[in-house]
Structure 1
Amino acid sequence: MKKIVLIGMVFLFAMSCKQDAKQASDETGFDFEKLLNDFNEEGLVLDPIKATNAGDSRYNDQFPNFLSEEYAQKKRAYYTKYKEALANIDDSKLTETEKMSKAVLEWDCDINLEAMTFKKDLMPIDQMWSKNLDFNQYAGGTNAQPFKTVEDYHTWLTRVDNYLVWLESAKENMREGMESGYVLPKSLIVKVIPQFEGLSKGNVENHLYYSPIKNMPESFSDEEKDNIKAAYASLVENKIMPAHQAMTEFLKNEYLPKGRTSSGITGTPLGDVYYNHQIKKYTTTTMTADEIHTLGLSEVARIRSEMEAVKEKVGFKGDLNAFFDHVRTNRKLMPFTERSQVIAYYDSIHEVMKPQINKLFGKQPKTPFEVRRTEPFREKSAAANYNRGSLDGTRPGIFFTPIPDVESYNIFDKEDLFLHEAIPGHHFQISLAQENEELPDFRKTLWYSAYGEGWALYTESMGEELGLYKDPYQYFGMLSSEIHRAIRLVVDTGIHAKGWTREEAIKYSLENEAESEADITSEIERYMANPGQALSYKIGQLKIIELRARATEALGEDFDIKEFHNQVLETGCIPLQLLENKIDNWIAANK
């Protein structure tokens, strides 16, 4: 009987919320819910890849030329239209949920319009962040782009044709950038060249873009299979390979000689103004480069002292930098001989955590979850990452881990990696937002790095609460990951605001963390390619830790960790100031 009454109360509350929203719409003279839905629908037309990632198949054949002036005009008009519409809305007539949606939408319009004032499109390709790398992930046939029907196979062929138009525009933009100083550092260009060169040659049937043929459904007729095979072979041989060969030659013969020797974004006309924009975009704060640099130095010093304690605990004789080398090269921390053992290792971490997760999280996602090896074509240059599941939950969330050399796969920092990329990090945060029926659709797939990466780094600090870090080396791994993010505050601002060179940033990192020189070099080059993104992790983590401490102190015995996590996660990605306001209101309501 109690359960029936509770269900009835929940139903009445949900109906009340909808009635509040309808009342707000009536009083303001327009349908606010429709405005949010229109923003989402028009956004999917503008960025059909976003629709594909969400499991919406309506635009799977489309790939607009994101670099064209026509596209820029449409994008500018889109954000301007909704920014102006929001300016005419009276907050006092909105529900609390609608006020949050309005504030998030205002932020999104402003930051995107601001980004369009810069000529970053003249550097459209780099070794980690550019659209060609994202697009290549769909080509294998195992990602968000579906390959289940005959129509799916033909749809992809059309999307590839559209993508090749973008690729040609990228080359044109890069030529223009070469003439005006908008060009990548040489050290990044040499990393881009192999990515194109690898797709420009080889056996057609072993090519990445031929991969979907190997998993064709048996239900296809022989004629359908033959036609699709011929079409995909022609695609690879007559379109993909020549286009990638042309880009390879351009990069080698034209672009690389024009590459710059500077490391920071101030070596381009984008300058300090662009870096300040990137700080705002990725931290969702008004912090300055100097403030972030100082915070980073402080955090590095604090975490180093904790690392010293672990070094003493395991009885290592030598200084901390020697201990870093010991951890990097300790064969006992590299136990695997088969890649399947790596996947099984992560599954075992999940099993250990399950009882504790139930104590800390009231809401848990329904979306399935898997661990997979990173695709071989991007494995050598990729970091571990999470790919969100579809909105309807039919495609699982996937934690990808690169295993280029299984026998050197070091596990000292892999428990915290699983917490961050998988559970309860990105999988919980992203899936719960997508499953939240109270959120308007545009907020279910919105991504603000300070919130999303901040949450994931916060979950790393929960390892002991989740039954992990019992081995001191694993706890040291957590500290290593945290200091890695603290170092980012120092080196990202160092490179882009203080004139540091690539080599100076690498040296600072080597002196303060246990990552290999090769991994550190890739990391530094990552920051060079996308200024400011690396700042988001630590800034977001520190804010969530601060809010948890504030709530714990204010509520005392009434503090409920499950409810705190619900409050943080139920909103989806939002700027940090909006999250802080929400938690402060929750504290006040429960005091």
Structure 2
Amino acid sequence: MSIVATKTVSELANDYETQYFTYFPELALFWGKTNVPQNKFSNHGYQNELNWQALQDQWLEELSHIDEAKLINSSEHTTFQLLKESLENAKATRICKETLWNVNPLRGWHIELGVISSKQPLSTPQERKQALERWATVPQLVKDEISNLKLGLTQGYTAPKPVVERVIKQLDLMIPSEIEASPFYAMADRAHDTTFRKKIAEIIKLKINPSIKEFRDFLQSEYLPKARTEIGLSALPNGETCYLAKIKESTTLAIDPKAIYSFGENHMAALEKEIGQIGLSEFNTLDTSTIFQKAIQSSHNYFKTEEDILIYNTKALERARAKLPQWFHTLPKAACIVTPYPMHRAQTGAAGEYHPATEDGKTPAMFYINAYDPPNKSRVDQEATLFHELLPGHHLQVALAQEEKSHHPVDSYLWNAGFGEGWALYSERLANEMDLYNDNISKLGMLSNEALRTARLVVDPGIHVFGWTRQQAIDFMRKHTALDRNVIEGEVDRYIMMPGQATSYMLGKREIDTLREYSKSILKEKFDIRDFHDQVLKHGAVTLPMLRANIMSWLETERKA
């Protein structure tokens, strides 16, 4: 007897969305939701993670009783596919037990706290009350994180020593001697409330700073001596299986790490020829490393002040916004701005980060930019990164997905890096077609960024499959990109602690490029780039196989028209 589904896709999606923001209320801030209480953090205890996994298994079971064939051509089909894929990938990556070695300089709890504090709602007395309730619980969050790491030590899971050392440095910067210098004290400045200012200062002094110091001292005295020297997943239990699961989770492709590595090597060779053309024109050399070095070392390629960096990026954003209608039929309503990172992120090599607008439109989307030490900040890759993060990149894609009301809201939260990061990288090249780059130096930055994403295809499996050392990874990145050493080291530590994610950019871009060329070959004179872009973006951050199926369906319809 066949089991009949007891819930519809929409009902399951509603349940998932409700539970998702109940378990992870901070993520509501990232996605711009304004109807989720902000008086607590996620429960960081390991048992809570097991409870969430049980819910995921329940949803997967219920989805298995839904007849997908009956959903074809319905508004629920995309939601069904996205939810099922997300849950399956999450289940597959459990073998990594990442919670038990989460000492992450890019996505660690201490980094998340900095982001949350910058977004914490503080406009009303009730919101300020919720903020005080939330931030008073930091000590429990830290105790849970320490407990998780101790459990990891007993099971053979640790983070690598250089990553732990980077996090210790970040934590030191987060506990200055003066309370007013704390990254969390900015909440007091935003609130414009004398009572709140006094209370949050007391919480920082008596709860937040002591907790951060407790974690820092634990890492320094107890954890660091036991941290692993090998940096790859191969040093951990079930590391090979974990890496394959992480590749699938990030790229949405079942692809062999050796094939990723090979594509990276081959594409880098092609890129270096393109880089050489600019190098010959600008610096009279074809050598990639020399070209990047000369571009970086040229004094006119640097800034004088933080304001110079922000103005430079804002002007690029304005050029992009003006030309969008020539390349897209559908444009987002949400605004976007450029803003500098807080100091503890900037000083430790943070590269750039996009945060969506709030759903009520009151707070614009933000591109956090590293404006630290302007006289040593090259402009080479500034424009390409801006186009990647805002327009026509992440902001265009994310805002359109949020504003599209024909699909379930949960579709916007089920992020697939293969599509999302692939689109953003595709956008850097598209910006060149749109004639947005100022000069050859900025175009060189575009090529440098693509070289970075291509280098990741070699470095990421190099670290996790082929036994590369951290120094090997750094040397490869220095040879093939225009990044400074501090950023490169931050990048390599990112690949160590976020295995597989870095490969999603180039693999996603390759798929979009392939589908664009195929669409042109099929439609010929009927091909309109605006139609193609609208079709790519209309369903949100789908999986790459879903994207291919959607484009093929569109082409079939266009051929019959």
How does the TM-score come out when normalised to structure 2? 0.95
Of residues 167, 173, 177 in structure 1, which corresponds to 2:142? 167
Corresponding residue number in structure 2 for 1:36: 13
Of residues 108, 122, 127 in structure 1, which corresponds to 2:86? 108
Of residues 522, 534, 557 in structure 1, which corresponds to 2:502? 534
CA distance in 2, matches of 1:286, 1:99: 22
Contact 1:446 1:572 (C-alpha < 8 Å) held by counterparts: no
**2:37 counterpart of 1:59:** yes
Of residues 185, 189, 193 in structure 1, which corresponds to 2:164? 189
Q: What SS is found at the alignment partner of 2:405? A: coil
5+ residue gaps, structure 2, are: none
CA drift of 1:498 comes to 0.5
Corresponding residue number in structure 2 for 1:137: 115
Contact 1:119 1:270 (C-alpha < 8 Å) held by counterparts: no
CA drift of 1:451 comes to 0.8
Of residues 225, 229, 232 in structure 1, which corresponds to 2:200? 232
Contact 1:413 1:474 (C-alpha < 8 Å) held by counterparts: yes
CA distance in 2, matches of 1:323, 1:206: 40
**2:93 counterpart of 1:127:** no
CA drift of 1:73 comes to 3.4
Cα distance change of structure 1 residues 355 and 250 upon mapping to structure 2, 3 Å threshold = closer
**2:129 counterpart of 1:154:** yes
CA distance in 2, matches of 1:276, 1:30: 32
CA distance in 2, matches of 1:80, 1:180: 24
**2:404 counterpart of 1:436:** yes
Q: Which moved more, 1:109-118 or 1:380-389?
A: 109-118
Corresponding residue number in structure 1 for 2:323: 356
Structure 1 residue runs of 4+, over 4 Å off? Answer: 27-31
CA distance in 1, matches of 2:358, 2:388: 20
Amino acid at match of 2:327: L
CA drift of 1:134 comes to 1.2
Cα distance change of structure 1 residues 270 and 239 upon mapping to structure 2, 3 Å threshold = farther
Corresponding residue number in structure 2 for 1:322: 290
CA distance in 1, matches of 2:176, 2:324: 48
**2:346 counterpart of 1:379:** yes
Corresponding residue number in structure 2 for 1:88: 65
CA distance in 1, matches of 2:451, 2:7: 50
Corresponding residue number in structure 1 for 2:56: 79
- How many residue pairs were aligned? 553
How does the TM-score come out when normalised to structure 1? 0.90
Q: What SS is found at the alignment partner of 1:148? A: coil
Corresponding residue number in structure 2 for 1:20: none
Deviations 1:331-368 (A, max 9, x none): 1111x322112111112112333343111011111011
CA drift of 1:517 comes to 2.5
CA distance in 1, matches of 2:372, 2:218: 29
CA drift of 1:516 comes to 2.1
Deviations 1:542-573 (A, max 9, x none): 11111111111111111121111111111111
Contact 2:304 2:374 (C-alpha < 8 Å) held by counterparts: yes
**2:3 counterpart of 1:48:** no
Cα distance change of structure 1 residues 590 and 270 upon mapping to structure 2, 3 Å threshold = same
CA distance in 2, matches of 1:309, 1:574: 36
Corresponding residue number in structure 1 for 2:416: 448
Cα distance change of structure 1 residues 209 and 390 upon mapping to structure 2, 3 Å threshold = same
CA distance in 1, matches of 2:405, 2:121: 25
Corresponding residue number in structure 2 for 1:15: none
Q: Which moved more, 1:201-210 or 1:412-421?
A: 201-210
CA distance in 2, matches of 1:337, 1:517: 20
Cα distance change of structure 1 residues 331 and 585 upon mapping to structure 2, 3 Å threshold = same
Corresponding residue number in structure 2 for 1:14: none
Contact 1:413 1:480 (C-alpha < 8 Å) held by counterparts: yes
Cα distance change of structure 1 residues 156 and 587 upon mapping to structure 2, 3 Å threshold = same
Percent identity of paired positions between Structure 1 and Structure 2: 28
Q: What SS is found at the alignment partner of 1:208? A: coil
Amino acid at match of 2:476: Y
How is 1:197-216 mapped onto 2 (pairs within 5 angstroms)?
Answer: 197-216=172-191
Deviations 1:197-228 (A, max 9, x none): 233341123322222222333xx5xxxx33x2
CA distance in 2, matches of 1:290, 1:546: 21
How is 1:400-419 mapped onto 2 (pairs within 5 angstroms)?
Answer: 400-419=368-387
How is 1:397-546 mapped onto 2 (pairs within 5 angstroms)?
Answer: 397-469=365-437, 471-546=439-514
Q: What SS is found at the alignment partner of 2:354? A: strand
Corresponding residue number in structure 1 for 2:309: 342
Bigger relative CO (Cα 8 Å, ≥ 6 apart): 2
Cα distance change of structure 1 residues 32 and 289 upon mapping to structure 2, 3 Å threshold = closer
CA distance in 2, matches of 1:317, 1:233: 56
Corresponding residue number in structure 2 for 1:367: 334
Deviations 1:419-453 (A, max 9, x none): 10111101101110000001201112221111111
